[in-house]
Amino acid sequence: MRESSILTSQNLKYQSDLRDNGLLITDTDLVSPKIKRKNITHYSIPATRFAEELGNRIIGNLVMMGFFTAITKITTPDVMKKALPGLVPDRFLDLNKRAFDKGYDYGQKVLKEESQKK
């Protein structure tokens, strides 16, 4: 895994705070980024739309978390999902796991498409 700063905010004014070779992840439903730097890696995901398709836009953060996990390979999806109990009410646990999986699967798809271009 690379040493980098990560920005997943819709407020792109913090783009300049990213380290060289940093990672910028944006929600295409909230941001139309104007990437000013050539020395960062940028990915976009329609996280809000995916969350709404699953039934609640508030779970967009879990969609982003799944995407982040897939792109960075910082840990396994199982480890991330095991951290959810106790963080979300039991009645929303399944929904949050599905949101995470949606983002993770999309991240895997993006990485596969990227590798096929090389």
Domain boundaries, the chain: 6-117
The answer to whether the pTM exceeds 0.85 is yes
What integer is the mean pLDDT of 54-70?
A: 94
Residue 2 has pLDDT above 50, yes or no: no
- Amino acid identity of 93? L
Give CA–CA dist 103/42, Å, rounded: 16
Look at residue 72 and tell me whether its pLDDT is greater than 70: yes
pLDDT of 32 above 60: yes
How far apart are the C-alpha atoms of 19 and 61, rounded to whole Å? 23
Lowest mean pLDDT among 14-23, 38-47, 54-63, 88-97: 14-23
Class of 6-117 in CATH: alpha beta
Mean pLDDT value across the chain = 86
